[in-house]
Amino acid sequence: MTRITSAQTTGLVRKLLPALVAATVFGGAAMQAHAAGAVVLYTADGLENLYKDVLPAFEKKEGVKVNIVTAGSGEVVNRATIEKDQPKADVLVTLPPFIQQAEQSGLLQAYQSANYKNVPAIAKAPDGAWATFVNNYFSFAINPEVTKNQPRTFADLLHPDYSGKIAYSNPATAGDGMAVIILTSSLMGEDKAFDYLKKLEQSARFHTKGTGYLDVLLSRNEIAFANGDLQMDLDDAANGGLSLKPVFLAATPGGQPTTFQLPYAIGLIKNGPNQEQGKKLVDYLMSTQVQSRVPDIFGIPGRSDVPLAGKNGETVKQAIAGVKLIPVDWNQVMAKKANWTARWKNDVIGASGKQTEVVKPK
């Protein structure tokens, strides 16, 4: 989707764009998200099973419906940006660097939820504009029934065996897609990373608007390798019945597989139509009650006082064992994001005509 900002729209066009985008991009069901009296949540994909488990109790207690619009991380922020002058949503959940983009664009209302107290300082905005909701790790994924010898390094993906069998999400619209650039740039340096991605593109079948659909495509054996994140991939395999396995890659043969934290962050949208219920929803999702359920969907609680426990918690610990974690300067990522996106479109995709916004059919 071509990114449209509120600065690019004026007059009548500005008033019409939110409805147009909702109808064409998110579908008719999304239009129902704005029912009177409801609290509206815009969220990155991957947490569907958690919401299904925990939101009914909130709705019953508060006597209010929670309407959810799910899309790629960048896509939900783009929509909120278009709607900035007349917000349609109350709460936003998305990945870095898009949560930082939302904060810098003035989309978020500073709100110091009492339940942010036990979120580490490094994992939240000082003014309460956002906080880590579900911690997570960037990963890749394969279909273990098809790919018996999983790739170990980035260079392995350049082998002819993967020709036409690779897909990853669009960095302009998906946090996991931007993570591909972040990780390769961290390990190779920016120029070499884009040289690598250009070579990798020869084996790429297409790119998706969001990341969640890639798990379905892997399980159907329509592709052999994709990007993702650990929480979503483990949850889709265990609770979604999909055939896939998360993997981590090393920069060089014999090297240590490497990744970084890629959390889901939560924030209150400024001037949302139901802000008081939006605050209550933020409080609820950050409560001990909900945070203790996060390991059920293979996530890591955003609160440090809630342990990563249970069978699924142990699965997460085992999956990340032996993987090197590198820090990410999200302010630096934000400074480079626009240039990286343009460079990916120009240098990696170029004039290939390859699809970059594949979505799950309705």
Q: Distance between CA 348 and CA 195 in Å, rounded?
A: 8
| The pLDDT of residue 5 is above 90 | no
In a domain, residue 94? The reply is yes
Average pLDDT, the chain: 91
In a domain, residue 361? The reply is no
pLDDT band at 31 (very low <50, low <70, confident <90, very high): very low
Q: What's phi and psi for 330, nearest 5 deg?
A: -70, -25
State the virtual CA torsion across 12, 16, 18, 21 in degrees, nearest 10. -130
The CATH number given to whatever domain includes residue 170 is 3.40.190.10
What is the number of other CB atoms lying within 10 angstroms of the CB of residue 132? 25
pTM: 0.86
Q: Distance between CA 69 and CA 16 in Å, rounded?
A: 19
pLDDT at 362: 81
The per-residue pLDDT for range 192-228, each reduced to its tens digit, is 999 999 999 999 999 999 999 999 999 999 999 999 9
Q: How many domains does the chain have?
A: 2
Residues 165 and 113 in one domain: no
Residues 179 and 255 in one domain: yes
In a domain, residue 357? The reply is no
| Domain encompassing residue 98 | 6-135+262-318
Per the structure block, which two tokens stand in for 230?
Answer: 């650990």
Q: Distance between CA 278 and CA 20 in Å, rounded?
A: 25
The per-residue pLDDT for range 284-317, each reduced to its tens digit, is 999 999 999 999 999 999 999 999 999 999 999 9
Cα–Cα distances in angstroms (integers) from residue 318 to residues 246, 314, 357, in the given order: 12, 6, 33
Query: If you average pLDDT over residues 243-256, what whole number do you get?
Result: 97
CA atoms within 13 A on the CB side of 270: 16
Q: Distance between CA 346 and CA 92 in Å, rounded?
A: 30
Per the structure block, which two tokens stand in for 23?
Answer: 């109808």
In a domain, residue 354? The reply is no
In a domain, residue 359? The reply is no
% the chain with pLDDT above 70:
90
| The pLDDT of residue 322 is above 50 | yes
DSSP 358: B
Q: What is the DSSP string of 126-194?
A: TTSS-EEEEE-BEEEEE-TTT-SS---BTGGGGSGGGTT-EEEE-TTT-HHHHHHHHHHHHHH-HHHHH
Residues 128 and 26 in one domain: yes
pLDDT at 33: 56
pLDDT at 83: 98
- For 247, residues 6+ apart whose C-beta sits below 8 A from its C-beta are 139, 140, 141, 142, 150, 151, 257
pLDDT at 50: 97
What residues form DSSP beta bridges with 230? none
pLDDT band at 1 (very low <50, low <70, confident <90, very high): very low
The per-residue pLDDT for range 90-119, each reduced to its tens digit, is 999 999 999 999 999 999 999 999 999 999
Q: Distance between CA 80 and CA 71 in Å, rounded?
A: 12
Q: Distance between CA 234 and CA 228 in Å, rounded?
A: 10
Residues 205 and 147 in one domain: yes
